[in-house]
Amino acid sequence: DAGVTQSPTHLIKTRGQQVTLRCSPKSGHDTVSWYQQALGQGPQFIFQYYEEEERQRGNFPDRFSGHQFPNYSSELNVNALLLGDSALYLCASSLWLAGETQYFGPGTRLLVL
Amino acid sequence: AQSVTQPDIHITVSEGASLELRCNYSYGATPYLFWYVQSPGQGLQLLLKYFSGDTLVQGIKGFEAEFKRSQSSFNLRKPSVHWSDAAEYFCAVGPYGGATNKLIFGTGTLLAVQP
């Protein structure tokens, strides 16, 4: 049983560009959450998707957007990249219930030059 | 405001010694509590979680944690550390009840193990 998978593993972009990161949840999970982890910090919640809708959002600007597909996979899009967007982006999947364990993927390392 | 504090940024212990990593939280009600471990360049692996009931929780790899409501703490312990335990450890809280499970993480504690 495959766990949470993310692609690509690494990405280099320049300021002002746009990027799309992808996530496939663990089999049987219907909820996908995205987190940003800056160097030396804990993960920060970006948003969460369930039934193809954004259900909750953290303190991130509108440049960060997402999508969930009918097969529960998800994309994270970031527009107008800033140097400060350089981070490890983690996807987590779970069932849609409070307290359900979130299983994390290996992350996508984004470097903005 | 909801928050998690891990007071120790970096801890070094000798292999075979005991370990305790501290975690304090600020939350409006009793939360769900988690400990995750992250090896270099990797995602997060769940060590253990507390929802309710027995305040001493057993996890994987010989770890345990104790929930103390009066101190708003959820410290992680291991009686004998192995070199493979060197990693970064994150404490996290989530909402109790409701239909969302957004996690709030601490800033992490980096564990080094001396031979």
From CA A81, how far away is CA B70, in angstroms rounded?
44
In 3-state terms chain A splits into helix, strand, coil percentages (rounded to 5) of 5, 50, 45
- Does the pLDDT value for residue A1 go beyond 70? no
- b/e sequence A16-53, b meaning 16+ C-beta within 10 Å: eeebebbbbbbeebebbbbbbbeeeebbbbbbbbbeee
- From the candidates A5, A32, A101, which should be mutated to test the interface with B, based on the most B CB atoms within 10 A? A101
Rounded to a whole number of angstroms, the distance from the CA of A6 to the nearest CA of chain B is: 10
pLDDT confidence bin for A2, thresholds 50/70/90 = confident
Residue B30 or residue A19, greater confidence: A19
Nearest residue of A to residue B108 by CA position? Answer: A42
Query: Nearest CA to B74 among B111, B45, B112, B47?
Result: B47
Mean pLDDT of chain A: 94
Helices (H) and strands (E) in chain A, counts: 0, 11
Interchain proximity B43–A98, CB inside 8 Å: no
Nearest Cα residue in chain A from B50: A99
Measuring CA to CA, which residue among A12, A17, A111, A29 is closest to residue A68? A29
Residues of A in contact with B34 (CB under 8 A): 101
User: pLDDT tens digit string along A60-105?
Assistant: 999 999 999 999 999 999 999 999 999 999 999 998 877 788 999 9
Q: H helices within B10-80, ranges in order?
A: none
User: Do A98 and B97 count as a contact with CB atoms less than 8 A apart?
Assistant: yes
DSSP label of B30: P
State the best of A4, A26, A56 to mutate against chain B, taking most chain B CBs within 10 Å.
A56
